[in-house]
Amino acid sequence: MSTKHEPSRGSWYLLTGLLIGLALGLLVAWVLAPVEYLETAPASLRPDFKDKYRGMIASAYLVTGDLGRAQSRLSLLGDVDPVQALTLQAQNTHAAGDPDGSAYALARLADALKQSPSEAGLSPTPELIASLIQSPAGGATLTPTRRPSSVLTPIYTPTPRPTRTPTPTVGAAFVAVAPESICDLNLPEGLLQIEVKDVAGQPIPGVEIIISWEDGEEHIFTGLKPELGNGYSDFVMKPNIGYSVQLASGSQLVTNLSAPSCQTDGGESYRGGILLLFQQP
């Protein structure tokens, strides 16, 4: 008489149970009851939300001129190099067509931080941290608030130290140096390169440049291509069109600018470019 032994299935039952438990756990955590972050610090935001946050800070600085407050707010993002983060975002925003109009504000704030290194380490106040945490309504606010208290305490507002600003003073109009024709096959055809410098010959970022022609006008800003210089900006001229250039802050009006005709060593024609310098006298 022989007996048959059925193989043990205990281990399979255990593995099946673990898989089912894991699947149910993921279902609950990801679908049925996902984690909701109601109060979080700006440093933990997604990169795109951080960009929006920087844009709001730069816009507020452009209106108020309060560099200390802007630095306190930027420090909440935890950027290793706030100036580099602002500059890179300004470049990307400009390259994308500047849909929200923040490229200029970002460039101006970045330049202000460069001019004020002593204030770069300013840490945020507890009131500012509390006010920038998301409110119960789910929105973020940029205005610090205090809870009512029976004891009156002074509200400290960081005041930026006096710094040298690169923007021209009132009445210090810029002088345009004679335009220089550039024939360089390594540059885009018809490239109009513009540089803006102060009386000491230092480049000035954030300067608005107005380029106009018979049926159009465009505004560009210096400092959005720092790898080419903080006072640099450029514009591609179309064939057979005359352009006029002037600084919005006040300068000579340069007229009748058009792409010069150049030739390669083989005798082929192509459109060259122009280098134009504006400088304070």
Quick: pLDDT tens for 163-201. Answer: 444 444 334 478 888 899 999 988 999 999 999 998 888
**What sign does the CA torsion over 72, 78, 79, 80 have?**
positive
The candidate with the shortest Cα–Cα distance to 109, out of 143, 141, 144, 85, is: 85
How far is residue 6 from each of residues 1, 9, 10, 13, 80, measured CA to CA in Å? 17, 9, 12, 15, 65
User: Do 272 and 183 belong together in one domain?
Assistant: yes
DSSP-derived 3-state class of residue 245: strand
Domain's final residue, options 75, 106, 132: 132
Distance (Å, whole) CA 277 – CA 262: 21
User: Do 122 and 181 belong together in one domain?
Assistant: no
pLDDT at residue number 137: 38
H or E element that contains 11: helix 10-27
Position with higher pLDDT, 10 vs 201:
201
Q: Of all residues in the chain, what percent are helix, strand and coil, respectively (each to 5)?
A: 35, 20, 45
CA torsion 37→41→42→43, rounded to 10°? -110
User: Do 179 and 127 belong together in one domain?
Assistant: no
Is 221 inside a domain boundary? Answer: yes
Between strands 175-182 and 273-279, the pairing is antiparallel
Q: How confident is the model at residue 270 (pLDDT cuts 50, 70, 90)?
A: very high
Distance (Å, whole) CA 69 – CA 60: 9
Q: What is the DSSP string of 22-63?
A: HHHHHHIIIIIS-----S--GGGS-HHHHHHHHHHHHHHHHH
User: Do 209 and 269 belong together in one domain?
Assistant: yes
Look-up of token digits 């600085």: 61
Is 144 inside a domain boundary? Answer: no
Q: How confident is the model at residue 27 (pLDDT cuts 50, 70, 90)?
A: confident
Beta-bridge partner residues of 247: 209
User: Do 179 and 275 belong together in one domain?
Assistant: yes
Max CA separation in the chain (angstroms): 117
Is 5 inside a domain boundary? Answer: no
pLDDT at residue number 108: 85
Give the domain range for residue 190.
175-279
Domain's final residue, options 69, 98, 132: 132
Domain's final residue, options 108, 132, 156: 132
Strands (E), 51-190: 175-182
Is 165 inside a domain boundary? Answer: no
Q: Is the pLDDT of residue 37 over 60?
A: no
Model's pTM, two decimal places? 0.48
Is 78 inside a domain boundary? Answer: yes
Would you give the DSSP letter of residue 203? Answer: B
* 269: CATH: 2.60.40.10
pLDDT at residue number 148: 41
Is 145 inside a domain boundary? Answer: no
Total number of domains in the chain: 2
Is 274 inside a domain boundary? Answer: yes
**Radius of gyration for the chain, computed over Cα atoms and rounded to the nearest angstrom:** 29
How far is residue 111 from each of residues 137, 172, 173, 181, 250, measured CA to CA in Å? 35, 20, 21, 30, 20
Q: Is the pLDDT of residue 162 over 50?
A: no
Sorted by sequence, the CB contacts under 8 Å of residue 46 that are 6+ apart come out as: none
Q: Is the pLDDT of residue 4 over 70?
A: no
Q: How confident is the model at residue 8 (pLDDT cuts 50, 70, 90)?
A: low
Percent of all residues in the chain with a pLDDT value above 70, rounded to a whole number: 73
Q: Which of 42-56, 114-128, 194-208, 230-244 comes out lowest in average pLDDT?
A: 114-128
pLDDT at residue number 271: 93
Instruction: Work out the angle at residue 174's Cα, subtended by the Cα atoms of residues 170 and 175, and round it to the nearest 5 degrees.
Output: 150
Alpha-carbon 20 to chain mean position:
48
User: Do 240 and 182 belong together in one domain?
Assistant: yes
pLDDT digits over 249-262, tens only?
A: 888 899 999 999 99
Is 48 inside a domain boundary? Answer: yes
Q: Are 205 and 86 in contact (CB under 8 A)?
A: no
Distance (Å, whole) CA 120 – CA 62: 18
